[in-house]
């Protein structure tokens, strides 16, 4: 029998070690590992301690897999709140479902905010409702006067350029025959298309920012996307446009920080910034509600809280650290 010399044994040992390391790196973390990493991150990561208290949840297409309230019991899965711009994902899913996935060029321009309707101001519509006019309609909100003129004005120079504004969706709703609908009838019309297994309302009939709901209900909506009950599953990330005016000539206005370059798809963001992004799909709201679906369309997540306007990016920074911990199995 031939005996291997020590150099040969050394080479074989290196090969086996390399193979084992490669195998180990390719093994996905268990659900338990993911959960521990995500929980530790939610409790201790600086981005998350900054926004405490909040509720968070991660799940798959069937059910929640982990959830917790951080910083006390101020928020839980059933806390109803205004979700601001996280409303956009619900509206775009309604349009995609209504059109059976066959969107016109006008639909796409409205949903990726390149239609030129840049003058809409949310408070003008909300004030109409606060005056006791319970029958305030989608069109009345669109026609409302603001300091710059009216909510319904179109900027010809903005057509074909990304400009983050609720006017795109408000005009689209009118074009789809919803102009006379108030908060109640608007919700009923959308619910009839999206399904009655989750619930939401409107504080005012504004498609881009008027929804009130809970994390539990929004989670059902996200699970319906993941399991293809909603056609948004296949529309995620499609028709995306660049959004940062500093690096994108076709972008005019974005709510994101100038050092973040995401794309905008059909009523939702694609978090594909070269430095911080993982190409997840998401919808942050101004008051701190943040919802996401990972790029593989396997998991969803939510960070839910009520905070002053302008709090979206802080929730994003916490939420994406929790997501990174979940996906990797390593606390962040």
pLDDT per 10-residue tile (average), the chain, 332 residues: 42 40 64 98 98 98 98 97 98 98 98 97 76 76 89 96 98 98 96 97 95 98 98 98 97 96 98 96 98 98 96 98 98 98
Q: How many Cα neighbours within 13 Å face the side chain of 38? A: 28
Kindly report the three-state secondary structure assignment for every residue of the chain: CCCCCHHHHHHHHHHHHHHHHHHHHHCCCCHHHHHHHHHHHHHHCHHHHCCCCEEEEEECCCCEEEEEEECCCCCCCCCCEECHHHHHHHHHHHHHHHCCCCCCHHHHHHHCCCCCCCCCCHHHHHHHHHCCCCCCCHHHHHHCEECCEECCCCCHHHCCCEECCCHHHHHHHHHCCCCCCCHHHHHHHHHHHHCCCCCCEECCCCCCCCEEECHHHHHHHHHHHHCCCCCHHHHCCCCCEECCCCCCCCEEECCCCCCCCCEECCCCEEECCCCCCCCEEEEECCCCCEEEECCCCCCEEEEECCCCCCCHHHHHHHHHHHHHHHHHCCCC
CA distance linking residue 147 with residue 142, whole number of Å:
14
pLDDT at 127: 73
Q: Structural domain boundaries of the chain?
A: 29-301+316-328
pLDDT at 329: 98
Burial class (CB in 10 A: 0-12, 13-18, 19+), 87: buried
pLDDT at 26: 59
pLDDT at 280: 98
Superfamily of domain 29-301+316-328: DD-peptidase/beta-lactamase superfamily (3.40.710.10)
pLDDT at 9: 38
pLDDT at 17: 39
Ramachandran category for residue 85: left, alpha or beta (phi over 0 → left; psi -120 to 50 → alpha): alpha
Tell me the whole-structure pTM to 2 decimals.
0.91
Find, among 277, 280, 289, 279, the residue nearest to 315 by Cα: 289
Tokens 């995401």: give the residue. Answer: 262
pLDDT at 241: 98
């Amino acid at each position: 029998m031939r005996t291997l010399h020590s150099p040969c044994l050394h080479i074989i040992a290196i090969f086996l070690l390399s193979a084992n390391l490669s195998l180990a790196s390719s093994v996905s973390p268990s659900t338990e590992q993911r959960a521990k990493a995500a929980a530790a991150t939610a409790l201790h990561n600086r981005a998350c301690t900054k926004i405490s208290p909040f509720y968070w949840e991660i799940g798959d297409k069937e059910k929640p897999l982990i959830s917790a309230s951080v910083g006390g019991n101020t928020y839980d899965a059933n806390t109803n709140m205004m979700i601001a711009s996280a409303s956009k994902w619900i509206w775009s899913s309604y349009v995609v479902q209504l059109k059976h996935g066959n969107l016109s060029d006008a639909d796409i321009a409205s949903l990726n905010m390149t239609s030129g309707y840049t003058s809409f101001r949310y408070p003008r519509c909300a004030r109409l409702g606060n005056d006791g006019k319970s029958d305030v309609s989608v069109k009345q909100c669109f026609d409302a006067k603001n300091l710059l003129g009216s909510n319904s004005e179109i900027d010809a120079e903005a057509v074909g350029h990304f400009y983050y504004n609720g006017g795109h969706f408000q005009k689209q709703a009118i074009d789809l025959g919803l102009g006379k609908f108030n908060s109640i009838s608007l919700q009923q019309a959308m619910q009839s298309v999206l399904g009655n297994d989750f619930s939401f309302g409107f504080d005012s009939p504004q498609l881009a920012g008027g929804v009130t709901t809970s994390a539990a209900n929004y989670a059902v909506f996200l699970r319906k996307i993941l399991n293809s009950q909603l056609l948004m599953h296949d529309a995620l990330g499609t028709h995306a446009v660049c959004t940062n005016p500093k690096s994108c000539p076709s972008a005019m206005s974005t709510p994101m920080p100038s050092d973040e370059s995401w794309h905008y798809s059909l009523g939702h963001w694609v978090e594909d910034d070269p430095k911080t992004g993982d190409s997840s799909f998401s919808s942050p709201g101004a008051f701190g509600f943040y919802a996401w679906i990972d790029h593989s369309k396997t998991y969803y997540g939510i960070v839910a809280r009520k905070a002053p306007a302008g709090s979206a990016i802080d929730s994003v920074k916490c939420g994406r650290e929790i997501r990174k911990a979940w996906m990797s199995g390593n606390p962040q």
